[in-house]
A and B are shown apart, each in its own frame.
Chain A
Amino acid sequence: MPRIINRFSLITAFLLTWLVLFGGCSRVDHKQSALDPKGLVSQNQYDIFMLSVWITIFLFCAVGGCLLFVLWKYRAKSKEESLEIPAQSHGNSKIEVTLILASTIILVILAIPTLQGVVLMNRVPDPNKTETLEKLGLDRSQIDGAITVNVTGKRFFWVFEYPQYGIVTANELVFPASKAVRVNLRTEDVIHSFWLPKLAGKMDLMPGQENFLWFIADKEKILSGESEADAMPAVFDGKMRQTVFAKQKFTDEFEPVGGLFYGQCAEYCGNSHAYMSFRALAQTDDDFDAWVELYQSSQNPNLQPATYNPETDYATGDTVLFPDDSLGEGATREYRALKEIAKGEAPNLSEQSWVKKHSDDYEIGKQLFSSLQCVQCHAVNRTGIGAKGPNLTLFGLRTSLAAGWMRNDEESLAKWLRNSNEVKYGNLMWNGEGIDDDHPLRNLENEDKVVDQLVQYLLGQI
């Protein structure tokens, strides 16, 4: 009796696990699912994976079935039988050789697409080779118009630099859905790994070495029948942020937003490794161009608002800095021209020609951003290459905060500013070099007003 129970439990436990697995696999479009490829490279990886799955399921059934058969057929059915002495055969070289050959053939079946896949992962197809492009279903323009992103991993966030456009952002990689993206990977501290499951697989960021991967999104899969504008909300006008906030509470079950992809650092890099995620946002060509333009104008030092110059004519929408003592001694405030303004018309609100660009809280927050030393690590409206912390240019357009860990809204941002160590223990904003208990950042816990003003300023970066 116990013998039967054990054989029975062995088999059922096995079958059950498999069944449960297949039952659970009914949904695979999770945020970071590698089973839901949306790009050429990841699709290729997925296809080879599925090939290996079918090969191994076949092998498992064949070998496992054989094992079960043997166990059943040759079990000792009684005490007497268990004492019998069967024929003492020592082996059979023909069977052995056949099985070795068979396993070799099966491995070859897997090896060929593997080698092709290695090449595909590592090299962007040559745009001059029409045949290759055709086979991959690519158009020459998709390769020719490829964009390059230099990714720098830092504990515990990501820097995304676009050398073609001279702009730098952090933690949210915006890219055109119809173009290939070359990603150069670097790190400034320990090893990280750039993992973007739905688009590209992963590649490590090795100190002292530049690694490379590339991906190209499959536009058809992102659109899945919808129109472009609905499927891929634009980033530059804040629509992406609104859609993400509306469609998914940050913590809800994964409700897909078109063009929104989740990525994660996949090589253990220290205390807050788990919090080092990022997002990639696919855009239509037009939206991407608009985003780049907006970004360029934000980070172009020549386009930053200058102090008001009475010798200059100003056009509608121009911004100037003008002293405003209500914000503190020597402080300036941004004003926007409401109409064409000739030389010498100093900002004067009563004349309806200049208007305050931002609220008082924003302006005070801006000053606090400097006086509380935030600016030592964070760049706003400049590229700030080499800055220790994430670039916060156009921060108000971002969907997430703290390297993808929180939703980028007022509440979370306030929580983050009050005590970031509680949210993301070990983060370098709280624990980095030169930050001790006297640092103003560590004393924001109960400063409601200050925190609010900083939030106004940061989320006002749009």
Chain B
Amino acid sequence: MAIESLKYVAPDTGVKTETKTFPRPGQHASGLVDWLTTIDHKKIGYMYGLSALFFLLVGGLEALLIRSQLWSHNMEVLTNRQYNQMFTMHGTTMVFLVIMPLSAAFFNFIMPLQIGARDVAFPRMNTLSLWCFIAGGITLNLSWFFTGGSPAIGWFGYAPLTDTRFAEVIGDMGPDFWVFSLQILGIASLLASFNFITTIINMRAPGMTMMRMPVFTWMTLIVSFLIILAFPAITVALAELMFDRTYGTNFFDFLEGGKPHLWQHLFWIFGHPEVYILILPAMGIVSEIIPVFSRKPLFGYGLIIFSGAIIGFMGFAVWSHHMFTTGMGVVATSAFSILTMLIAIPTGIKIFNWIGTMWGGRIRFDTPMLFALGFITMFMIGGFTGIMHSSVPIDAQHQDTYFVVAHFHYVLIGGALFGLFAGFYFWLPKMSGKLMNEKLGKLVFTLMFIGFNLTFFPMHYLGMIGQPRRTHSYNEGHGFETWNQIATIGSFILGVGIAIGVYQFLSSFFNKKLKAAGKNPWDARTLEWSLSSPVKEYNFSRTPIIKSRDQTWENNYGPRDKHSQKEPLDDHGIHMPDRSWCPLITAVGLFVMVLGMLFHQSIGPAGELVRNYTVAIGGGAVFVLGIILWSMEGPGGYHLFPKESEE
């Protein structure tokens, strides 16, 4: 961040409150200290994105191992336990450590810029959310190195398979790691969501009414609400599971009167909204990209937002369609079946409106647009197979086969990941200040599109001819070989595509040969494109006064009365908060506490169970200390006085 040219002035009498009890790294913190203590939403966004991309490669590697094992019948690339661990880790990683944090990266980076804010409402909480996410990711992957290795329970960890009674390795710790890491990740998501909601409700620039907000910001808001309403369910479920495993309660142990069904309900009351938590951000991104590359405003803006909200709302009313085959009886299955079909309507509306947006436009096929179009087509297929599953008799055949695997990969890769990649190609010039290589981008798209379809389209057929999911091996004579081989080849093509893409994203920050992007390389429409690329530390030198939706476009092409204005200058300048160590201390405390809980049991000399909570309590103390310091350290801060041109 170029801040040398800015003059620094000590706070005047009007801003006396900015004292600090404890030292906070200030304006001139640099290097590692800067990254560890930053509260800048953009840097937090970078770190979210970077760690999520790292986990994308990890999860992708797991996927490739899975696909190698399925190359042919009776393969022995992995043992069955290793395979079961792979698909558990692949699923958990991709859902919680890749798609969600990638969305969070965009929420963090883009949303404040879109509403004309200087940062999110609670910048330090935002930092804590990041460190909790990273602690969760580390916790989950630490499981590889301890008794039993990673969990082998599937990403939805159905009880009673998670019960210690059914552990297939004595003292298996995998599920414990899984439980605790999901709890921490839940904290991360909840913190971020409360933050985003507060930001969107309270920190919009003057004139930025709700119905002038960009669709992506709307989706951020809806997803944040989904997260705060959905995560409590899984938090409860995980806490119960922890008690079952650690203290011998029996919420889910049927021999003692527990109910395995209870887990499924709790999990899917979280799990189905989770699906929309994963897909709505991508829909928001696509809703931003299509108008830009068609040079037209979004067709049916209100309806797109409303249908997003309806999808989110109804997402809480369809969870049991994951449980059609668990014996819920005629009435419940029928009701959930019909409700699920209804969700197709708002989803369809979005697709109609995207096509409507392109109608009559001037369509350019730059990389972001290609990914957005890939999103529409792939998501459409995933949606159609979704309609099929909503019908109970069809689901009775499809449930837990490769047809379902194909379905949710069409939605989550063809949908969510393609959408997020579109977002990267679209917004990275804003982040790095440089345009990316279009040819390389198109190569990535082509590889991913072909690889993806080769991998997952045949799975529909494989499911129909009888290949069950989560089986590490299949016998000869089922006729599965050819299609699995095609899928495996496809998965490697997809993997290469993704790897090149990730390389391209990273190199756009370091490659000096790339051309400068300028403020608005795509001639885009929303507010963030009125800022310089890369965006300055303070985002807006003067807060804009918003006059219309698509403000940047109106500034460029609209009538005068729709041009945005700026708040008048004052001698107070821009107050920038100081950095803080407290979020990191708090997160480390939490992490140590979790490790303490994970390892608190041992076997004593007489073979008795010994519980030792020293480490857990120590971690808890650090956690509490972090929060106390946090509340006492005082705002601190410094003032910047950028010139008019430096925005």
From known contacts A60-B384, A122-B330, A206-B261, infer whether A195 and B161 are also in contact, taking CB-CB under 8 Å: no
In the complex, per-residue mask of B322-355: 1 if CB is within 8 Å of any chain A CB, else 0:
0001110110011001100110110011011101
Residue B254 lies at the interface, judged by CB distance under 8 Å to chain A: yes
From known contacts A84-B362, A107-B345, infer whether A48 and B295 are also in contact, taking CB-CB under 8 Å: no
Verify A6–B363 contact, CB threshold 8 A: no
In the complex, per-residue mask of B477-492: 1 if CB is within 8 Å of any chain A CB, else 0:
1110011000000000
Complex CA–CA separation, A122 to B331 (angstroms):
11
Verify A27–B477 contact, CB threshold 8 A: no
Verify A189–B384 contact, CB threshold 8 A: no
Q: Which residues of B contact A48 (CB under 8 A)?
A: 391, 393-394
Q: Which A residues from 15 to 69 make CB contacts under 8 A with B?
A: 17, 20-21, 24-25, 27-28, 30-35, 42, 44-46, 48-49, 52-53, 55-56, 59-60, 63-64, 66-67
Verify A82–B393 contact, CB threshold 8 A: no
Residue B401 lies at the interface, judged by CB distance under 8 Å to chain A: yes
Verify B393–A121 contact, CB threshold 8 A: yes
In the complex, per-residue mask of B440-463: 1 if CB is within 8 Å of any chain A CB, else 0:
001001100110011001101100
Q: Which of B79, B158, B457 contacts A267 (CB 8 A)?
A: B158
From known contacts A28-B464, A111-B341, infer whether A74 and B358 are also in contact, taking CB-CB under 8 Å: yes
In the complex, per-residue mask of A179-206: 1 if CB is within 8 Å of any chain B CB, else 0:
0000001000111010101001111101
Q: Which of B298, B388, B461 contacts A21 (CB 8 A)?
A: B461
Tier of interface size on chain A: 35 or more
From known contacts A121-B393, A252-B477, A426-B80, infer whether A91 and B348 are also in contact, taking CB-CB under 8 Å: no
Complex CA–CA separation, A290 to B342 (angstroms):
52
Verify B465–A30 contact, CB threshold 8 A: yes
Residue in B closest to A203 when the chains form the complex, CB atoms: B325
**Count of A-B contacts judged by CB separation below 8 Å:** 338
Q: Which of B80, B325, B376 contacts A204 (CB 8 A)?
A: B325
**Cβ distance B169 to chain A, nearest Cβ, rounded Å:** 9
Residue in B closest to A28 when the chains form the complex, CB atoms: B465
Verify A76–B466 contact, CB threshold 8 A: no
Verify B445–A52 contact, CB threshold 8 A: no
Residue in B closest to A84 when the chains form the complex, CB atoms: B362
Complex CA–CA separation, A111 to B154 (angstroms):
31
Residue B475 lies at the interface, judged by CB distance under 8 Å to chain A: yes
**Cβ distance B120 to chain A, nearest Cβ, rounded Å:** 30
Binding site for A on B (CB under 8 A): 79-81, 84, 152, 154, 158, 160-161, 166, 168, 254, 258-261, 294-303, 325-327, 329-330, 333-334, 337-338, 341-342, 344-345, 348-349, 351-353, 355-356, 358-365, 370, 373-374, 376-377, 380-381, 384-385, 387-388, 390-394, 396-401, 438-439, 442, 445-446, 449-450, 453-454, 457-458, 460-461, 464-479, 482-483, 523, 557
Give 24 pairs: A residue, B residue, CB < 8 Å, sorted on A: A2-B439, A3-B365, A10-B449, A45-B397, A46-B397, A49-B394, A67-B358, A71-B373, A75-B363, A76-B364, A82-B295, A83-B362, A96-B349, A114-B341, A114-B391, A120-B393, A190-B166, A193-B325, A193-B400, A201-B393, A208-B260, A209-B327, A267-B400, A272-B80
Binding site for B on A (CB under 8 A): 2-3, 6-7, 9-10, 13-14, 17, 20-21, 24-25, 27-28, 30-35, 42, 44-46, 48-49, 52-53, 55-56, 59-60, 63-64, 66-67, 70-71, 74-76, 81-92, 95-96, 99-100, 103-104, 107, 110-111, 113-115, 117-123, 155, 185, 189-191, 193, 195, 197, 200-204, 206-209, 211-212, 248, 250-254, 262, 264-275, 405, 425-426, 431
